Amino acid sequence: SSLTKKPPLPTSNMVYHYKTGDARPELPAGEDALVLFESKFCPFCQRVVLALNQRGIPYQSVYINLSAKPEWFAEINPGGKVPVLMMGSQRLVDSLMICRYVDELPSGGVSEAQLCSNADAERLALAWLGEFFPPMHDLMTRPDEAPEKLEQVTAAMRQFGERLGPKPFIGGAQTVGLADLIAYPAVAIATGLAGVLDCPEPAASDTALAGWLAEMQAVKATSAATKPVEWGAFLKSLRAGNPDYSV
């Protein structure tokens, strides 16, 4: 069979992304087992990872190489997109839907408060991401457009700082909410890309953004997030046309 190639054992600082030709991994049995199909370098997956970790809910990750997806992933999600949260025979495929589902789950004995619910803050974060992602995607994948798109990304980051409102969290909430978790990966991407393009980091001259980042970095869930330096290494390889998921 062409699907018998075993993936290498991951090292302590690397996760393996299943790719074309790899055999499907064994998954935990039982309707209560949660399996997250994700990519380390997908901001939509990252928001789910942060929500799960903030709630202290146990799950197993299966990482997918989005540039060379394994054949069996089409059985998990015919649309080919991540994240996918699988619970026994049930599957959720929209990152926001997954996050809201996660917030209603029992925490498996871990004492964790639910995420702060703030519809206005979530709308603000989603509206900002709608402005941020198009030029950022072009910067990630089309280096020839860097100057113009970098200006748009810089403007979007400045707008985000202006919209933050009172500290500590988006919308002035006293505890971390879904709005913060969906915005954090995007800021990490922008910070990582700043290193690649040798330009100032987004929070370097924005005290509101710097304050929010400090609050977010104190939240335990962000320890599971992809670090800006990792984003930088991946984005460098992506812009070169040879994405390296092992960084």
pLDDT at 164 over 90: no
Which of the pair, 70 or 143, is modelled with greater confidence? 70
pLDDT, tens digit, for every residue of 17-39? Answer: 999 999 999 988 888 899 999 99
pLDDT, tens digit, for every residue of 205-247? Answer: 899 999 999 999 999 899 989 999 999 999 999 989 999 999 8
Mean pLDDT: which of 118-122, 161-165, 174-178, 183-187 is highest? 183-187
> What is the token pair recorded at 101?
């589902």
| Rounded Cα gap, residues 107 and 52, in angstroms | 9
How confident is residue 12, by pLDDT bands cut at 50, 70 and 90? very low
Do residues 215 and 169 lie in contact, with contact meaning Cβ atoms separated by under 8 Å? yes
Average pLDDT in the 177-185 region? 93
> What is the token pair recorded at 66?
């989005």
pLDDT at 62 over 90: yes
pLDDT, averaged across the chain: 87
| Rounded Cα gap, residues 150 and 192, in angstroms | 13
pLDDT, tens digit, for every residue of 200-213? Answer: 888 888 999 999 99
User: Please, what are the domains in the chain?
Assistant: 1-114 (3.40.30.10), 119-240 (1.20.1050.10)
